[in-house]
Structure 1
């Protein structure tokens, strides 16, 4: 199956067809829009011309009426009360009125005098009340404008003499569509009670002739200021009602005097252009069919389709032959893959590229597996070789031979051993069970950071990561500087990747590879100095040798520190105890003290602390959980690990137990003192005597009593004696002096002052008050009986 060729062919077709269709569609839309824009512009120009012709006609008639109204004849006649006897004046006025016909197709002309109550209609003079459409004229008079046009259709009177009628001005009313010009006299704006007016009615056909009716430019009509089609038939008004409503809404929302909108009427799409006149607020509207407008663009669309089809055919031919040529190498690779695979039935159903991809992946996977197996075996062999090297199980000749076989450095001036150990895990996210895994991770970090041509394979040996570094050329100082740089880099990466602090021991540089066993021991010896130098250190074995001459014993000043630590622990003062522990460890783990004696001194301190537990009768197993605790203690390396172990495993638990026992002793001692005071209040009492009796120090006993009772010893004795004095005054007839003497007061005045200080009255006053109260109570009980 040639699935890839089909995809390639489809892609080529799409690559050529999509731009062609896009360009054709864009050209057609652009051309059609240009046609629409030109038709709209033409409609707007026709509306502008129509507006100019109509307004010119209206201006001409207004000018004629204004000249007529301002003639001396009209002004003079307007202030007279005309009757049938003034036929000469009436004839002159009618002649002037007839002259107005030359400016427009005038149907009727009226001169109306409201105050004199007469009216002239062409050649006839009649009383105002006899006008059949007087209400209409009065409505005109109530308008605020002095000069205005009325576009509403009115019934027009036609003169007709009926038999037996004396009035030749009676008229038969027939409907006639006109527009009226109203000119108030005098011409004052804002008045609703003029003296009179001139009304000229013009036939609507005069304006309708100016409007256009064509398929290309559409139908034109006019809306008056109120939005009514005053020149159109009833059917047209119904047809364009929705359009007119949309025009009025758009005019209200927009401040523009012209515009265009698309709408529908009777299922037909229409384009509406409009202009608002600044002269009388009439709206000139042109409605054209979108189908008629776009008819011209159909030919453009047909031409565009023909061109696009031609281009698509050309694209199809190029795509077919081009894809065949591009598919040729794919077909060749697919054939080779099928021939190489025996499962031909399943291969026929797969896509070409999928088949090739699977074949390549199979080859790559096979190669990767073989390479991985080989590398895994070689790595184990390399590590085994290095471990035998550090344990002294290989001769020098064998070492040189294997080194060349496994791709280790062949030539060197100096060699050097790194030993990496993990510091305290107490304040990290790891537990002790994670040490092996962390060492494995450190081994990988070292392997990645150190270049293969400068090292042998890093290995894990006895809980330590060991690396043999080779320096091809240079002095001992150069390899030591290189080792220091690499050690700092390893420490930084261990902190970055594992958030782990490590220490590194560095051996002396050496040349003979057989001396790697000695160098391995030197690097471990350097690491043992961490407990005095601190964690996160890089220690060279030469630094230990330089300090060896200055080592001194520390027993002389350790004994006082040990005694102070034990004393503060007996008092359950944990803060002071930890302070003494810091001083003790600083002395023991000082860089000048003996490294081999440190463990003995620390074990001695641990046994002294455990002895305190035994003295208090506390089972030792509550503190030390068998031999595992001792084994863990002996494995401690850094100053931080040792201090953390003493604080968390020994001092804090012991201090808590001792404090609990002391608190119990506090309560018992305070209770005994209170009992003695209650029994011997009438005897001589001192804190020193009671402390001797209870086998406590007076100061210590005073603090305990104050802590548990809330009062000092003397205050509590005085308070209790006053309570007993109060009781004696209430229940006995003893004299006040006798009571004071019984309570161990040296004179009566001191007793009275103490009693008044506590109860606010003297003993005598208190006894009298109690006696009076008792007598009143007894009297009330007798009266009640």
Structure 2
């Protein structure tokens, strides 16, 4: 029953789909006035629609559009003029039927010796009469038969589909006129009910037959499914025998494995105990203990001694220390206690008795303006050189220090110093010396961030977090800088971040128009507005990251996936590593905007893009007037439908939404910057007063007067 309902649902989907397309405005009386030879764009558009309809359902084999004009036309899906009289009468007879939508089994006169095909036709236009044409769906006979075969999933069975006149529409038996098919059909019709089942014997084989109806437009169809009893029962018998064999085999195997395991399971335990009990008295082993406890205790002792020995003999202590600090920073040792962490650090060679800890972050800047251009291409080489400089210099100031190479033009210096020792002078002298050496050798600027001091190993990860946050307060100027978080946190200075949303929108509009030079100018303007609140990194870098995120969002909306454009690069990480404003601007233009616009221009219709630009200019000049999609289409000489579709594709916004947004922005400017009355403002932006209040509240969330009061209060 469920399979029959599934078939009925799929046929109903075809009927609904056909009705939807027949009522499409594209298939109204305007088709009668089109010259399909001259208006080839309209012809191509209709062919595309028919191809879309043809691919919308797997049961559809072919879609045709017939126009019953003085000169009959046929799209199948390509444009054709019908010359053959038989073919004209064939299609004209479909249009002349009383029902607007109907199922038929027809034989097309243009194809000789062909079988009748099941079709679904719908008059057009669907919204009114008389009809001047029809859309005809030809059902894929093979796929329909595949559906019918699901009612009888046996090779020896047969399924028949009858129309309301009890004529065979489709049969899984290729010979529809066979005695077997007619016998099943006649027997089912004699039952006198809409659904049921019965048994039938044919040629010494007994069949189980079930039948039922499905409602279709114009009547009810009858389906009949017949399957041999032997095909139904044979799998059940086979599976029952198979289950018995498997169960019995599994039982025997389980008995054998249990016997084998009971003999073998204790042997490894005995051998392991002999290893630990070679000298029971010397090892202090109590034989009354549980064997697993003995093994556990001895295993812990052996493991602990082995780890200590490996750590003491290791020739890679600096690398081990650096690895430990990185694990601590990344949270991999979060579950360790304070004592466990101290023990591990002492095993690595640190002296932690009454010590304090702090961290210096050394960041190299000025690479974009560096005279040594090769440095731009190898961050690892730059950082490696800086690590060597710092390692040689730090020995003169601190007895215990560990260098952490981040491989991204940043180096960490972890310092362990005696508790209660004042380190300010040492830190200042060390910072000045390192800065001077890197300036002379690498020709780069240095930003050093000094953390607060702590006395607990568990708090060391917070040092890494604090210097990461603290260095965001560096100035984006290309100069040597020192950020001492110990002094910074005392004065409690904070920065208010201001984000230039209006300029961001201008940048996005320039990107949409494909204007690279204008986009670069606006990005510089965006950057300068960020700098108005201070040129610290915390003001500038998050703003530039947010701008890039917005640009990437626009790229996605244009139908281009970032992976396609950036070839799998992590663009956020690349931008995060840039420490210079000018480099940021060039990076966004050269690595993001220029490739995107180049790719986009290859996909868009350049001529239609010019039309849209002209329409946008027209809207900006005439937004005070009564602007409609039709009037704008007349301006550029195209149809409203084509303009609407292209407007959405190129600007990623509907025509009416664009006009409304422009008028609302102009209204906001007048409300904020003038004392004009609300009535006058509504007329200035092209609205009646009552409608203006309603649409302003819908778009902005408050009434115009409330908006003016809110802005005045600020």
Q: TM-score higher than 0.5 here?
A: no
* TM-score (ref. length: structure 1): 0.31
Q: Whose relative contact order is higher, 1 or 2, with alpha carbons under 8 Å and at least 6 apart? A: 1
Structure whose CA Rg is larger: 1
Which structure features the higher share of helix residues?
1
